[in-house]
Structure 1
Amino acid sequence: MKKCFLIDKNTLMLKSVFTGVHKSKIIKTSGVYYSPLSVQQLLANACIPYASTLEGRIQAIKRMMNYFVKTPLLIDPNGIAAFPTISYKNLECVWIFNHHFEVESLGKGKSKVTFSNGEAYIVHVSKNVLLKQKQRLHATIDTYRTIHRD
């Protein structure tokens, strides 16, 4: 098992796992990694180099965009962003990062997410929710960029 503690521009998806000492699975363009840190700890650590906290980033986006449920996250507003599939405090939450992906409905609140590198994963949320969350993430990124243009 590969170990990784870094969220970066190559991160595709984060999800919780409960195997031995591992608490999270990090899917990146370079492969699948496991970490003893929880998904929330990984996200919180990723915000620090950008002079913020996970809660601070989420609160700012809630105020800026009026997204009070399943709020997207701009870790590095110029390149690293993600959205939760359900409440980020729920252990079943999967975070999907701002990479191109296709969604196929599998029915009954299940979807297959396929990234441009061919990696595919099943998530327990409907296609409509995924597409709405993707749209909200891109609207948040666009709004941030508009506000901070030189």
Structure 2
Amino acid sequence: MDSPRDAAGRRSANADVAPRGGRRGRRIGAVVLLVLVTGAGLSVHAFAPENAASDIAGDALYAAAAYFAVVMLAPSLRPIVVGAIAAGWCVAIELFQLTGIPLLAGAAFQPAMLLLGTVFDARDLVVYMGTVAALTGLDAATAVVVGRVRRR
């Protein structure tokens, strides 16, 4: 999708911001999805056996929660910007695990593990990026469809 341009062909200063219409609906949708994804993540954590599949599911749900949290906080951002922020958060948290601090924090206060994780795993980065890329694409496609419906 091309960036908005002015009459002289210059990129608009608001190119990273979505059109005004629909912010409230996008925020409400993000809140609902964040609640659902968080519930699913907590269920995986509490009830799924500890194996690769549950680890991957948890990572995907974590990345989805990051994406929906960004939309909730800044619904006017374009999907690519939301995706970049969510991916950056996930990578930063995963790299932070290399310090050992999240493991210590989790030992002292177990719920911290849900937000910070415990130990670095490169596979997590792959799952985060795949999930964020899929959500970014889905969000962008939804924006196109909603925009077409609104123009009718």
Q: TM-score, normalised by structure 1?
A: 0.32
Larger Cα Rg: Structure 1 or Structure 2? 2
Q: Which has the higher strand share?
A: 1
Q: Which has the higher helix share?
A: 2
Q: TM-score, normalised by structure 2?
A: 0.31
Compare relative contact order (CA 8 Å, sep 6+) and give the higher one, 1 or 2: 2
